[in-house]
Amino acid sequence: MSDYYDQTPEQRRQLRAQRNRRRQAQVRRRKLLLGLLVLAVLAVVLILVLRGCGKDKEPAQPTPSENVDKPDTPNTPAEPSDREQNQKPDDQQSNGEQEIPWNLTLVNRWNPLPEGWTVDEVELSNGWAVDSRCYDALQQMMDACRAEGLHPVVCSAYRTQAVQQNIFDQMKQSLLDQGYSDADAETEAGRQVAVPGTSEHQLGLAVDIVDLDHQLLDESQEQTAVQQWLMTNSWRYGFILRYPTAKTETTGIIYEPWHYRYVGQEAAAEIYQQGVCLEEYIAAKYGA
């Protein structure tokens, strides 16, 4: 205190001003921290509400071993779950004669996402999510691949309508920047990225998998050890290479040696053995 009164009036005034500024800064920091805390709480509440909407089934309860990014799960193909064996009529897609099961639901540029389709999300350790009905099979496939000393990475999985729209718009803008007309950019973007509402990623049954050491989404991906293994073995776990080479006219999507779709073990085995794409398989089996 004596030091304070030994100072000149101007020095005391400056000291008081400094103290006021410090107090004001502390008040601002407290208000900012309080605001961030409130926003965080609101965000958590919103996420919980959104995840609870539209779900008529109990969410899957993964055990500690059910981690897609975690190896050491026995190398055994997935068995059909209770949900698969006891699927309800609204899990099926009708072609007028036979009911097409949920796991073969066809989504492409000519067959949009079925109205009312919902995804029972199970989150992967890297933040992506898949439908609970294919989660176990995906885990087993990834663990089996890792058991061979390989390093697969899920770089995309379930997408909402908004996310798919954003990806499509980015692709179209890239083509416009390259000199495409608006109409041509729209068409070409639809060949390289599914039009929102027609993407398999919106089913929750499709994943994009790349090699950790080669994370490029182009045809060079097929040369990686991960893709070579997946192309040979994915059917054992109920997955197929969804957009194979030379099938672009039928699928409506360019060759994508990284996009895998869950269809169940029986259908995957038949598709692999016959060398057909999903559209051809459904047409032959169901006349759709």
Q: Is 240 exposed, middle or buried (0-12, 13-18, 19+ CB in 10 A)?
A: buried
d(CA 230, CA 128): 20
Q: Are 172 and 97 in contact (CB under 8 A)?
A: no
In sequence order, what E strands does 22-156 have? 93-94, 99-100, 121-123, 129-131, 152-156
What single string gives the DSSP state of each residue in 147-175? HTT--EEEEE----HHHHHHHHHHHHHHH
Given 200, 256, 266, 280, the catalytic residue = 256
Q: Is 186 a catalytic residue?
A: no
d(CA 162, CA 197): 10
Residues 6+ apart with CB under 8 A from 6: none
Point out the residues that are catalytic.
256
